[in-house]
């Protein structure tokens, strides 16, 4: 059953569940953070409307800096501003930032741990018709590997908003990835959200598999949970909204409970959520495990649902993998 | 700030040149040409230009031996640290590392980012009506980097008149002369076209460097680029103008020769053109 302590939306499994943009969650959170703290400045690389930095820009034009289509400059100017005492949010598409400016992020933000927040919008396959050049499927890996960097992948509008407010108050560098499309708002204002603390979404007396998911794939995992439950297979769904620092304790505890793991993410299999989870488990409690992710391939144009199907990121793929790890566990 | 005569500053520059040669000899690693070439600019900045709260960003971090030496002479840390350049746990890392030496403005080395960082600082200073100036030293070679020109546009767009960049125009980079690797001329015209003010100085004439920095303070329309013409390896005859000395440490014999030459300069550095 669903974890009642998390106060989910009453419409969680209903057809008319509200759909909203995580980007709006970021934009609204940023506006609120800007009202609370004058040190916050926002930099844009010519994408303020699609990153939703425009809400902040309209309200605080004097704290909004347009750098043009120049992602290397975006983060290095921000580094200087953070050095001076500001809290800069750098906004662009994930493929360009951190895609194009990785070394600048590493050198001018990572090493000295400046509190610059890098927000990569339009990440993942869901960007759809834009095609392969714009589908960032490597950004979690790129950011996770930099010491001092924290990595957040929210799973709905409200999480994106809460994450934005929390990272604004934390004097550390952050990367947050956001998808393009609208997604179900399955949490509520009351759902807890703590950076570095995974949310255990379901409970069971006799769970067979633990599913770790992030981003848009969390809701997909919940749909899989429901169908599996109907068929007598109980699973624990865990939302890993913070990829780094990873909530290792929760990962280990709930893996020990089931002895079988499936991870799912809208990212390359190398270096993402699945990698992070297996790095922890291989040291502490190795079990049968499936990593649902893009398997070392590039994307292409198409509707998000067509692409999720092609690259194995659907409810059906989760169900298949759950059955696979159960079989492996039992042999 | 204690004021020094030009003669005194030239004497300090000579000591720093000796330090640079000894540091790189001891480390067995380093960039002697650019470091020696910028000694006079560093002396001008630290002894006659920088005010208390002014910032100095060194973008081309590889010439840090000169920066470290001038900082030690200016009292930031004990002179003995110089000869642990690049050693394990040394406060003087092989490239400037603020974690080990917090009095540095930035951690640097990878080229093309320093102007952008300095622009960010200058932008904030103006936002918050702070009166300090931000200085940044860049190399000519790093003008190959796209990040640098993004920042040139940014500073020009925002008329960051509280920002002064000193370009080490020594005409060499690792592979060859700059004009063979990727021509930069007409460099002054490029900056003017990007809405910068441009001053050109002999980078070995401390008085000229100081005067240009003072002049830049009085330019209220634009950021200022001071193109400092320098001789890479300045003060050591066999290193001067030779790209082979961009990133090579001297051996014992070469270092002895170099130190002797620096000593016999009698504190005088000949101007750029001679």
Domain spans in chain B, listed from the N-terminal domain onward:
6-263
A86 touches chain B (CB under 8 A): yes
Q: What is the mean pLDDT of residues A212-239?
A: 98
Range list of H helices, B59-204: 64-73, 114-127, 146-157, 178-181, 187-193
B120·A83 Cβ contact <8 A:
yes
Q: Which candidate from B120, B127, B147 shows the least CB-CB separation from A80?
A: B120
Beta bridge partner(s), residue A136: A123
Q: What is the mean pLDDT of residues A58-78?
A: 98
Confidence at residue B52, expressed as pLDDT on a 0 to 100 scale: 85
Q: Are A175 and A149 a contacting pair, CB within 8 Å?
A: yes
Annotated domain spans of chain A = 4-15+193-330, 19-184
Q: What is the mean pLDDT of residues A164-187?
A: 98
CA distance A24 to A42: 15
Q: Which candidate from B117, B146, B150 shows the least CB-CB separation from A83?
A: B117
pLDDT, tens digit, 9 for 90 and up, residues B219-232: 999 999 999 999 99
Q: What is the mean pLDDT of residues B127-154?
A: 98
Task: Grade residue B3 by pLDDT with cuts at 50, 70 and 90.
Answer: confident
* A77 neighbourhood in chain B, CB within 8 Å: 116-117, 119-120, 123, 151, 154
Q: What is the mean pLDDT of residues B161-170?
A: 98
Q: Which candidate from B117, B122, B125 shows the least CB-CB separation from A76?
A: B117
Q: How far is A101 from chain B (nearest CA, A)?
A: 9
CA distance A218 to B64: 49
Q: Locate tokens 């650019």: which residue?
A: B34
Chosen from B101, B118, B124 to mutate, greatest number of chain A CBs within 10 A? B124
pLDDT over 70, % of chain A? 100
CA distance B163 to A149: 30
Q: Average per-residue pLDDT in chain B?
A: 95
For residue A1, give both structure tokens.
Answer: 């059953």
Choice among A18, A32, A71, A203 that is catalytic:
A71
**Pairing outcome for strands A242-244 and A150-152:** antiparallel
Is pLDDT of B105 > 90?
yes
A249 among known catalytic residues: no
Is pLDDT of B103 > 90?
yes
HSE-CB of B222 using CA atoms within 13 angstroms: 17
* B122 neighbourhood in chain A, CB within 8 Å: 80
Q: Are B267 and B7 a contacting pair, CB within 8 Å?
A: yes
The CATH architecture one would assign to domain A19-184 is: 3-Layer(aba) Sandwich (3.40)
| CATH class of segment(s) B6-263 | alpha beta
Q: With H, G, I as helix, E, B as strand and everything else as coil, classify residue A199.
A: strand
Is pLDDT of B269 > 80?
no
Confidence at residue B266, expressed as pLDDT on a 0 to 100 scale: 61
Of B95, B115, B93, B96, residue with least CA distance to B105: B96
Q: With H, G, I as helix, E, B as strand and everything else as coil, classify residue B193.
A: helix
Q: What is the mean pLDDT of residues B190-197?
A: 98
Confidence at residue A258, expressed as pLDDT on a 0 to 100 scale: 98
User: Who wins on pLDDT, B80 or B271?
Assistant: B80
Query: What is this structure's pTM?
Result: 0.95
Task: Grade residue B247 by pLDDT with cuts at 50, 70 and 90.
Answer: confident
Q: Average per-residue pLDDT in chain A?
A: 98
Q: Which candidate from A63, A77, A85 shows the least CB-CB separation from B119?
A: A77
What's the ipTM? 0.92
Is pLDDT of A256 > 90?
yes
Range list of H helices, A85-230: 102-105, 139-144, 157-169, 217-230
Q: What is the mean pLDDT of residues A82-98?
A: 98
Confidence at residue A22, expressed as pLDDT on a 0 to 100 scale: 98
**CATH fold of A4-15+193-330:** Rossmann fold (3.40.50)
Query: Sheet of B197-202: strands edge to edge?
Result: B55-58, B134-139, B163-169, B224-229, B197-202
CA distance A268 to A114: 28
pLDDT, tens digit, 9 for 90 and up, residues A298-307: 999 999 999 9
pLDDT over 90, % of chain B? 89
Same fold, A4-15+193-330 and A19-184: yes
Is pLDDT of B1 > 60?
no
* Residues of B engaging A, defined by a Cβ cutoff of 8 Å: 57, 97-99, 105-110, 112-113, 116-125, 127, 146-147, 150-151, 153-154
Cα–Cα distances in angstroms (integers) from residue A199 to residues A158, A194, A241, A258, B149, in the given order? 14, 9, 8, 17, 45
């Amino acid at each position: 059953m669903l974890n009642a302590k998390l106060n989910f939306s009453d419409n969680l499994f209903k057809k008319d569940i509200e759909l909203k943009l995580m980007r709006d969650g970021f934009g609204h959170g940023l506006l609120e953070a800007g009202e609370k703290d004058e040190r916050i400045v926002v930099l844009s690389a010519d994408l303020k409307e699609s990153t939703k930095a425009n809400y902040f820009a309209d309200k605080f034009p004097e704290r909004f800096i347009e750098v043009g289509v120049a992602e290397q400059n975006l983060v290095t100017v921000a580094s200087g501003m953070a050095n001076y005492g500001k809290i800069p949010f750098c906004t662009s598409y994930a493929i360009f930032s951190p895609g194009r400016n990785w070394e600048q992020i590493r050198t001018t933000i990572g090493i000295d741990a400046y509190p610059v927040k890098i927000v990569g919008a339009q990440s993942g396959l869901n960007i759809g018709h834009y095609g392969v050049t714009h589908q960032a499927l490597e950004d979690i890996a790129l950011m996770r590997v930099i010491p001092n960097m924290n990595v957040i992948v929210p799973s709905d509008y409200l999480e994106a908003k809460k994450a934005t407010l929390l990272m604004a108050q934390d004097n550390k560098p952050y990367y947050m990835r956001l998808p393009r499309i609208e997604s179900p708002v399955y949490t509520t204002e009351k759902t807890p959200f703590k950076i570095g603390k995974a949310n255990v979404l379901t409970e069971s007396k006799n769970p067979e598999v633990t599913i770790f998911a992030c981003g848009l794939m969390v809701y997909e995992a919940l749909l899989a949970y429901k169908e599996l439950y109907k068929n007598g297979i109980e699973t624990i769904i865990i939302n890993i909204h913070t990829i780094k620092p990873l909530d290792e304790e929760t990962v280990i505890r709930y893996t020990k409970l089931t002895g079988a793991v499936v991870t799912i993410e809208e990212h390359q299999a190398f270096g993402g959520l699945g990698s992070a989870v297996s790095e922890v488990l291989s040291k502490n409690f190795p079990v049968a495990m499936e990593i649902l992710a893009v398997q070392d391939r590039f994307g292409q144009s198409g509707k998000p649902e067509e692409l999720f199907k092609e690259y194995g990121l659907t409810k059906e793929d989760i169900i298949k993998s759950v059955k696979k790890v159960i079989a492996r566990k039992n042999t | 700030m204690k004021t020094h005569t030009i003669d005194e500053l030239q004497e300090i520059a000579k000591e720093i040149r000796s330090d640079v040669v000894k540091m790189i000899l001891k480390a067995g690693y380093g960039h002697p040409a650019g470091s020696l070439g910028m000694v006079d600019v560093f002396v001008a900045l630290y002894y006659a230009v920088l005010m208390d709260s002014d910032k100095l960003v060194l973008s081309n971090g590889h010439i840090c031996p000169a920066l470290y030496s001038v900082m030690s002479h200016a009292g930031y840390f004990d002179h003995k640290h110089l000869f642990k350049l690049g050693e394990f746990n040394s406060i003087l890392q092989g490239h400037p590392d603020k974690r080990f030496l917090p009095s540095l403005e930035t951690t640097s080395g990878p080229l093309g980012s320093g102007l952008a960082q300095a622009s960010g600082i200058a932008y904030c200073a103006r936002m918050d009506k702070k009166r300090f100036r931000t200085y940044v030293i860049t190399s000519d070679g790093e003008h190959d980097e796209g990040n640098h020109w993004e920042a040139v546009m940014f500073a020009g767009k925002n008329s960051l008149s509280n920002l002064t960049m000193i370009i080490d125009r020594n005409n060499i980079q690792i592979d060859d002369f700059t004009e063979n690797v990727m021509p930069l001329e007409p460099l002054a015209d490029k900056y003017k076209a990007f809405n910068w003010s441009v001053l050109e100085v002999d980078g070995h004439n401390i008085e000229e460097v100081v005067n240009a920095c003072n002049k830049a303070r009085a330019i209220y329309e634009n950021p200022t680029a001071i193109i400092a013409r320098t001789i890479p390896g300045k003060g050591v005859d066999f290193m001067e103008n030779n790209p082979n000395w961009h990133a090579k440490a001297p051996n014992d014999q070469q270092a002895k020769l170099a130190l002797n030459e620096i000593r016999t300069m009698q504190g005088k550095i000949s101007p750029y053109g001679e």
